[in-house]
Structure 1
């Protein structure tokens, strides 16, 4: 069994690799070539946390996986990961675990790449301004994915905690300097989104974190943080202005995400407003962006297949490069 740490993975696997792997994953998912049960959740209310268990299997590749990921937003106050996790990669022929990977980093990669794949497909070609709301454990990968998908001039970052925002911006200026994108702290969410071509929200908020009436025409919005019914990052005011609504998995979103469930319950949208899953766009079965004025929303909650396929791609590269620690 191969043990792969974050440092091991970073040596061999890039955000661009992850975006391409996600695209393959979405195709497999939409083609029905994977078994991806809805994730099992166990609440930890005393600590504002939740335990998540995400299995998946691809028969034609003889590979299975299980991610155990625990969402504890208050960890950020202790400088701990807000989504600590491990991914088990399992040989589909024998049932033996082939590898254990740093699931926190795999989650960051594949979640960022989910937005990155959506932006690659849906963002206007000339996108130059990005906005990022939230600076927690998933934020850095979301930021990098935006830059990989489009050659942005600037990204404006906002978080309720000003000191944390400034610390995040300073760190990202160093960590992502290769992209030559200006990264700045915004003083409000309005300032961040008002002229943004690409917007990411990645927070555990129960109330909308931006004003949907101020999103400009042509913008593409990826809402990442809402993974439970009571969570609602997205301002429902954007939905009547939206031309198309895409999902990583409509079934998964409708099982848990308040960003879509609450507007459905309030009659702001109906299921007829949904455009489809991103995998169906990649397969050519569902239309993508049709003009530069359309506002497009991508709601993603994460499916276990992304973890499985990302782990598999990393494992293959690690074996080829002789990276990782063998444990018997």
Structure 2
């Protein structure tokens, strides 16, 4: 049985060579797997009930190693990653067997506990989400003129500390800091096995993890009606791949990207790499700016960027909210719908979003004339895995979000497919309007299934292109 080994550098080379069509194909296969995970389709082998529980071991040195097994009908995966975690005590922890999937959420119909219907109707939760094109345009005009700095941009385009970008660009694709720089990315690998438990792939997880996470986040991003302005918190691998995939998939629509990071040096390094010649093929005409909390007028710049943002990607392991809640919960902040993705925090005591943002999202207000130009909340938060998110997502835990206020992205895909065949045009209309223009919060904590599905696709591509090291007789 041949096994293909992809190092970090080899995987970066492969990922950098992917065309838009290839990215979409991998993303569609991943979406199908996440849908089967939520549906419980055991024929595909992706059902949640067929995913083994993960285990974490913390050693005396404070390094935590996580073991994430996964399965599909055609393959088995084991992801092993480690990160320094001085807050955890030595010991072994096995994921709880509690299953939250029997509860009713994101559906109309029976109120019986334990009911999980086909979820073909979402009108009960989103009947007030509709926004007319006239109101949307008016809100956009209002936002474009609300900046305290007038018509001027908060930062010059293609600049670092107000100086044009020059040479000295690294060869590491920007998101990977140089020697001695702080990087919170977990180290490890993903091993892929066939039906006979024979290994056929070994992949560097440090590169695979941010790529498959960005693939998942951009599933919703692809459906958004307006994505002219993006705000990305962080300057590491996750930030890089979220920016790159977003621009590759929607580059014709995106006009501006703000990179916000605590360290200006890292933000500038990422910005330099984006403007390097080797990235010109996907960068297009999008304007990028680096923003840092070291700036004297940081609060004003951040307010302006969030106010204009159509999508916000949070990619930092932060223990405190990245921006004040009122930037989104105030009257001004509620004038437009945004996609807000938080994928950086991974422990209950970590949070990228202020709890008030999630509390307002899951609280659906009744119709009122005072809010007629505001985007109504959906009443739910989207996650990759309900069970994992309720245990690990600090945003959900600190905001006391309940399981019935959470829906998996796989369920969202299932609702979409059901709505297409539904006799109720209103159901499909409400869902489409919410996904395209409503306020959507996505919280991802990661699934081994995502690594397995994405990794299998990449190993096949690597073999076809003769990238990596293949041992014919392992």
- In 2, Cα distance between equivalents of 1:42 and 1:191: 43
Higher Rg of the two aligned structures: 2
Checking the alignment, whether the CA contact within 8 Å between 2:359 and 2:399 is kept in structure 1 is no
The aligned counterpart of 1:40 is 55
- CA distance 1:234–1:95, change in 2 (3 Å): same
- In 2, Cα distance between equivalents of 1:118 and 1:40: 29
TM-score (norm 2): 0.61
Q: 1:304 aligns with which of 448, 462, 467?
A: 448
Checking the alignment, whether the CA contact within 8 Å between 1:241 and 1:295 is kept in structure 2 is no
- In 2, Cα distance between equivalents of 1:146 and 1:232: 23
- In 1, Cα distance between equivalents of 2:215 and 2:290: 23
Aligned pairs for 1:242-321 within 5 A: 242=361, 243-244=377-378, 245-264=381-400, 269-274=401-406, 276-284=407-415, 288-291=431-434, 294-321=438-465
Return the offset for 1:36: 2.3
The aligned counterpart of 1:141 is 241
The aligned counterpart of 2:261 is 159
State whether structure 2 residue 284 is matched by structure 1 residue 183.
no
The aligned counterpart of 2:325 is 212
Structure 1: unaligned runs, 5 residues or longer: none
- CA distance 1:44–1:157, change in 2 (3 Å): farther
Return the offset for 1:37: 3.1
The aligned counterpart of 1:132 is 232
- In 2, Cα distance between equivalents of 1:193 and 1:42: 39
- In 2, Cα distance between equivalents of 1:163 and 1:103: 25
1:152-176 superposed Cα distances (whole Å, 9 cap, x missing partner): 1111011111222112211122264
- In 1, Cα distance between equivalents of 2:318 and 2:182: 19
Partner SS, residue 71 of structure 2: strand
The aligned counterpart of 1:3 is 5
The aligned counterpart of 2:271 is 169
1:11-69 superposed Cα distances (whole Å, 9 cap, x missing partner): 3645444433321221221232322234322346856x53221110113xx20001112
Q: 2:306 aligns with which of 184, 188, 193?
A: 193
Return the offset for 1:193: 2.0
The aligned counterpart of 2:117 is none
Q: 1:234 aligns with which of 353, 357, 362?
A: 353
- CA distance 1:293–1:120, change in 2 (3 Å): closer
Partner SS, residue 456 of structure 2: helix
The aligned counterpart of 1:225 is 344
The aligned counterpart of 1:22 is 30
- In 2, Cα distance between equivalents of 1:146 and 1:44: 38
The aligned counterpart of 1:67 is 79
Return the offset for 1:80: 6.9
Checking the alignment, whether the CA contact within 8 Å between 1:132 and 1:192 is kept in structure 2 is no
Checking the alignment, whether the CA contact within 8 Å between 2:358 and 2:395 is kept in structure 1 is no
Checking the alignment, whether the CA contact within 8 Å between 2:324 and 2:354 is kept in structure 1 is yes
- CA distance 1:185–1:137, change in 2 (3 Å): same
- In 2, Cα distance between equivalents of 1:133 and 1:202: 6
State whether structure 2 residue 190 is matched by structure 1 residue 87.
yes
Q: 1:52 aligns with which of 41, 46, 66?
A: 66
Checking the alignment, whether the CA contact within 8 Å between 1:2 and 1:326 is kept in structure 2 is yes
- CA distance 1:322–1:165, change in 2 (3 Å): closer
Checking the alignment, whether the CA contact within 8 Å between 1:36 and 1:303 is kept in structure 2 is no
Cα root mean square deviation, aligned:
2.6
Partner SS, residue 311 of structure 1: helix
Worse overlay, 255-264 or 290-299: 290-299
- In 1, Cα distance between equivalents of 2:268 and 2:463: 39
Return the offset for 1:136: 2.2
- In 2, Cα distance between equivalents of 1:128 and 1:45: 48
Checking the alignment, whether the CA contact within 8 Å between 2:212 and 2:451 is kept in structure 1 is yes
Structure 2: unaligned runs, 5 residues or longer: 87-175, 293-297, 362-376, 420-429
1:203-257 superposed Cα distances (whole Å, 9 cap, x missing partner): 1111111223213421100000111111111112212442231111111101211
- In 2, Cα distance between equivalents of 1:282 and 1:273: 17
Partner SS, residue 467 of structure 2: coil
Equivalent pairs counted in the alignment come to: 317
